[in-house]
Structure 1
Amino acid sequence: MIDPVLLRENPELIKRSQAARGESVELVDEALAADASRRQAITAFEQLRAEQNAFGKQVAKAPKDEKAGLVAEAQQLAVRVKEANQAAGEAGERFDQTVQRIGNVVIDGVPAGGEDDYVVLREVGGIPAFDFEPRDHLELGEMLDAIDMARGAKVSGARFDYLKGVGARLELALMNLGLDRALAAGFTPLITPTLVRPEIMQGTGFLGSHAEEVYYLPADELYLTGTSEVALAGYHSGEIIDLADGPLRYAGWSTCYRREAGSHGKDTRGIIRVHQFNKLEMFSYVHPDEAEAEHERLLGWQEGMLQDLGLSYRVIDTAAGDLGSSAARKYDVEAWVPTQQAYRELTSTSNCTTFQARRLDIRHRTESGKTAPVATLNGTLATTRWLVAILETHQQADGSVIVPEVLRPFLGGLDVLRPVA
């Protein structure tokens, strides 16, 4: 949720942000009007309550012969106070419903526009060249007996898979490498719940434009998470946390679920776009003044992983219309996939400023002793999709795959994955 004070004092900034996102500018005026009604209703209630308190004292001091009439008046006043309180509550709900439709205010410099309007910040590593016709990751995975899509579909339907043998080991090696890097950077590991309550999913902003991607269990009123970011954001909901010693950093390891609604016919081959996958997610709670610096740190840890895995990649500054409601800025890191002759997103990192914290009521104590919302940031450090780039980039003519050196200690020293006869 955006800052109500910012809404009142600088609505033009929010309107520019909405325009950059390609979203309703008029919604800002609706929110302003709802805020004015809310504040007016609160003022009316507080005035009536003060009048009620003063009148109560008058009744207490009144002579017995006057009390009966005064008590009747007090009862009528109590009805008015109750009605005013209800009106204030309803006005507050209308304001919340309106303001929650406004996306986070984008940071200066974020490109305007939609999915195709990103800006490439840098490209790292040369494009892999082969003296043979490279195989795609699924063909390699089947030769290695590492990926079984057919049985995944038999058991669970389209876009499910089994990672098998060296495929399962490779994913666990990747996740453990990421976990080691996260521990070295001061992250506390968490294995998070993958079912969360509606208020937590709503608080992180995933029930807006991304709602169709989320699996919902109506009988239990629980949502399956598409990223451990949701559970990590909810971890300190309703709390005042201590940032005196710097950011609180967590690394969440979880299975993730996405419906992939609207993606029929897109990336249906292999494990690029599946309904279930594993992910190691970094999550930081920081002082708002530190958010942009922390964002760069998260990006640096991601790039370090890709470089050490020998992957060629680029970093893009995502356009405002492709941020999602919670992010004020998002960097995507896309690895080169040889058989697609294209960069494909492997990981992203988002600065959500105070947007999620306001919705989830996560605060820190300032030097003045008052509380204020924290900033939250997230970034993926390893996920199943990375296997696509690893297999295709490091393949050999005979279908074997060279294991990146940094992964070998997690595979018992295995340096080459070989086809199964």
Structure 2
Amino acid sequence: MIDVRLLRDDPEAVRASQRARGADEGVVDAVLAADTARRSAMTTSEGLRAEQKALGKQVAQAKGDEKTTLLAKAKELAEQAKAAAAEAEVQGAEFDRLIRSIANVVEGAPTGGEDDYVVLREVGTLPTLDAPKDHLELGELLRAIDVERGAKVSGSRFYFLTGVGARLELALLNLAVDRAVANGFSPMITPTLVKPEVMAGTGFLGEHADEVYRLAADDLYLVGTSEVALAGYHADEILDLSDGPLRYAGWSACYRREAGSHGRDTRGIIRVHQFHKVEMFSFCRLEDAAAEHERLLAWEEEVLQAVEVPYRVIDVAAGDLGTSAARKFDCEGWVPSQGRYRELTSTSNCTTFQARRLSVRERTDGEGGATRPVATLNGTLATTRWLVAILENHQQPDGSVVVPKALRPFMGGLEVLEPVR
């Protein structure tokens, strides 16, 4: 959640962020009013508790009628204190509900909605292809993708990766892990089921809750990204960041309901319910977050260049940011069959938003000193959707696909994927 001190000291900054996102700025005044009511209730409750303590000492020393009078007063005061404590709890819960409804404060993102992004750069040469086949046609020729049997087994938006398709995905993900380790990340195989407080702590149970699968019988959620588990890894801990950021690369299956996407990208594996992903996650000092964000983006670009996919980098507009992100950069790969760029990866700077919810802190004054929330950042290093761009950009007229050089060591030296006749 956002810093309540920022809300009190500079509410206009929060209002401006809400406007940039296209969100309700009136909630800022509602939170301020709730904060005033909460603090007033807490002051009353604490005052009554102090009065109770003082009266208790008087009762212990009193005798006779004086003691009887004081005991009656103590009983009345106890009822008042109980009621005040209950009111403080109610006001505190209302404040917490309202402040959690405010998304992270935007930092530098363009104003506007989904179509108001800013293109920062285009990298690579677009292939010259006559009547390019799409990834599903190629995948079926290669016997690499089987959506028909995926639908038979699990329903729409499910698929099998078979033969060289499975090998290609594993090669891509292993390349991503290798690059992550080389850049100082600790590899992690993460849980894909998490508790409600972890899912809520990362900001995925707000406006996008309908995207999340829930197992009601166990009160657990299936993650849509290993970011969730990685963010919760250090929940309720105090970190030592004196040697720099703590960086993790999580490999996991991911699940998304794709609510609201009816009729969109129903062909192939662009928008599916289950996929695999290698996700970078960083815990760092707030002052280092912007620079760390640039590093995550550079590492994403490094892997995209390694698999020789043309792409562009966009600065995502405020209205298209997730709840937790203060700023986000997307890398969009060229998809020849569609003649346009499609999102392959993104990286978000969540500043202290997630860490406040999950109580991930660092010490500011050495051992035993004050603590403050850390910053968290995430970025996708490779995912199943990349196969779309790899297959289409490296296709040959006969339906074969050239394996990018960087992936060949992970595929036993295989250079070309040949159609199965």
* TM-score, scaled to structure 1: 0.98
RMSD: 1.0
Number of the residue aligned with 1:42: 42
Q: Which residue of 2 aligns with 1:126?
A: 125
Task: Please report how far the alpha carbon of residue 169 of structure 1 lies from its aligned counterpart in structure 2 after TM superposition.
Answer: 0.5
Runs of 5+ unmatched residues, structure 2? none
Residues 1:28 and 2:28 are matched in the alignment: yes
CA shift for structure 1 position 199 = 1.1
Superposition deviation, residue 335 in structure 1: 0.4
Amino acid at match of 1:122: R
Letter in 1 for 2:67: K
CA deviations on 1:164-203 (whole Å, 9 max, x unpaired) are 0110010000000000111111111111111111111111
Instruction: Choose 8-17 or 79-88, whichever is displaced more.
Output: 79-88
Higher mean displacement: 384-393 or 72-81: 72-81
Deviation at 1:75, TM superposition (A): 2.2
Does the residue aligned with 1:281 lie in a helix, a strand or coil? strand
Whichever residue aligns with residue 224 of structure 1, its letter is L
Higher mean displacement: 192-201 or 30-39: 192-201
Deviations 1:122-169 (A, max 9, x none): 111121112x32111001101111000000000000000000011001
User: Residue type matched to 1:92 in 2?
Assistant: G
2:251 counterpart of 1:253: yes
Q: Helix, strand or coil for the counterpart of 1:270?
A: coil
Cα distance between partner residues in 2 of 1:73 and 1:275? 64
Q: How far 1:65 moved relative to its partner? A: 5.2
Query: How much has 1:76 moved relative to structure 2?
Result: 1.9
Residue 94 of structure 1 is matched in structure 2 by 94
AA aligned to 1:123 is: E
Q: How far apart, in 2, do the equivalents of 1:121 and 1:54 lie?
A: 65
Q: Which residue of 1 aligns with 2:205?
A: 207
The residue identity in structure 2 corresponding to 1:113 is: G
Q: Deviations over 1:239-294 (max 9, x none)?
A: 11111111111111110011111111111110000000000000001101111010
Q: Which residue in the other structure is 2:304 paired with?
A: 306
Normalising by structure 2, we get a TM-score of 0.98
Where does residue 384 of structure 1 map in the other structure?
Answer: 384
1:8 paired residue number: 8
2:152 maps to 154
SS of residue matched to 2:119: strand
Per-residue CA shift, 1:39-95, capped at 9, x if unaligned? 111111111111111111112222355323322322221221121111111111000
Q: Deviations over 1:283-311 (max 9, x none)?
A: 00110111101000000000000011111
Alignment of 1:40-79 (within 5 A): 40-63=40-63, 66-79=66-79
Aligned equivalents of 2:63, 2:179: Cα separation in 1: 77
Segments of structure 1 that go 5 or more residues without pairing to the other structure are none
Q: 3-state SS of the aligned residue for 2:319?
A: helix
Question: Deviation at 1:221?
Answer: 1.0
Q: Distance in 2 between matches of 1:319 and 1:241?
A: 32
For 2:252 and 2:193, the matched residues in 1 are separated by 11
Distance 2:67 2:246 in 1: 59
Match for 1:184 among 182, 188, 202? 182
Of 297-306 and 193-202, more deviation after overlay is shown by 193-202
Query: Aligned letter for 1:96?
Result: D
User: Match for 1:276 among 270, 274, 277?
Assistant: 274
CA distance in 1, matches of 2:23, 2:404: 44
Identity of aligned residues (%): 68
Provide the residue aligned with 1:337 in structure 2: 335
How many residues are treated as equivalent by the alignment? 419
The DSSP-based 3-state class of the residue aligned with 1:305 is helix
Per the alignment, in what secondary structure is the counterpart of residue 340 of structure 1?
A: coil
Alignment-mate amino acid for residue 260 of structure 1 = E
Give the 3-state SS of the residue equivalent to 2:157 in structure 1: coil
SS in 1 for 2:328: strand
Could you tell me how far apart the structure 2 residues matched to 1:89 and 1:50 are? 18
| Equivalent residue runs for 1:356-367 within 5 Å | 356-367=354-365
